[in-house]
Structure 1
Amino acid sequence: MKRVDVAYVLLLDEHNEKVLMVKNRGENSSYYTLPGGAVEYGETLEAAAIREVKEETGLDVEIDEVFTVSEAFIEERGHHAVFFTFTGKVVGGEIEISIPEEIEEVTWMEADLAEIYAHIPSELKGLIKKKSTIPYINRGRVVHS
């Protein structure tokens, strides 16, 4: 299995009630996720998260801290995916689908429903609104001599 890092961003509306979600076109059916995607070679998690949100939604965002880290084995792709979800805020742009072959819809969804699509376990229900985070630290390039 190939290891793949994926960066998502949790964006809440101004009332902290709705979450920005994208509807992805799947092979068999469409599905909702937080905006985000694969980290490219040489790219930081933060840069990937910002780039992916812009590509998928047309919005400019700033990243705050880490909301969750999770992983899954995506059998049909042969991937061991590690998902880094950041909190963030919209700082500009307009909602626009620039890659309609991948993204079907961009929508503000009720937080309770968004938690299901974001794969937050039922025992952690309400986690999105708690805004519990840990710092994200980019240590840059480290050289041990």
Structure 2
Amino acid sequence: MKRVDVAYVLLVDEHEKNVLLVKNKGPGASYYTLPGGAVEQGETLEEAAIREVKEETGLDVQLGGIFSVGEAFFKERGHHAIFFTFTGRIIGGEINISLPKEIEEITWMSTELAEQYVHISNGFEGLIDSKTTVPYILRGAGRPES
């Protein structure tokens, strides 16, 4: 199985009541996720998270700590995915669907409803509202020289 790293960003509105989600066009049905996507070769998790949010939503973000780490096996694709979810805050840009072939909607959703789309397991309800994070630490000099 191929290992795939995915970086997401949890963005909460200024009232801390809603989470920004994107509705992705899927092969069968559309589905909601946090803005984010696959980490490209030579890219840090932070760089990927910031780039993906910009590409999918038009927003510029500043990242906080790690909100959660998860993983899944997608046998049909042959992928072992590791999901790194950062907290973040919007620092610029405007909401805009720049990838209409991939994204059909960008919406604010209540934290309670959003939990079902951000892959929070049973027993962890309320995790978004808890604002718990751990630091993200980039060791070394960053990207290797090409």
TM-score interval, smaller chain: over 0.9
Q: CA deviation at 1:118?
A: 0.6
Cα deviation code 1:41-90 (max 9, x no counterpart): 00000000000000000000000100000000012211100000000000
- Aligned partners of 1:25 and 1:47: how far apart in 2? 24
Please give the residue correspondences for 1:73-92 in structure 2 after superposition, counting only pairs within 5 Å. 73-92=73-92
Instruction: Give the AA of the match of 1:50.
Output: I
Structure 2 unmatched ranges of 5 or more: none
Question: Residue type of the partner of 2:5?
Answer: D
Say how many residue pairs are matched.
143
Q: Which moved more, 1:43-52 or 1:75-84?
A: 75-84
Q: Distance in 1 between matches of 2:76 and 2:17?
A: 34
TM-score under structure 2 length normalisation: 0.95
Question: In 2, Cα distance between the equivalents of 1:26 and 1:44?
Answer: 26
Q: Secondary structure at the match of 1:48?
A: helix
- Structure 1: segments with no counterpart, 5+ residues: none
Secondary structure of the structure 2 residue equivalent to 1:122: coil
- Aligned-partner Cα distance in 1 for 2:66–2:45: 10
CA RMSD for the aligned pairs?
1.3
Report the counterpart of residue 32 of structure 1 in structure 2: 32
* 3-state SS in 1 of match to 2:70: strand
1:23 aligns with 2:23: yes
Greater percentage in helix: 1
Which residue of structure 2 aligns with residue 48 of structure 1? Answer: 48
Give 1:140 shift: 3.0
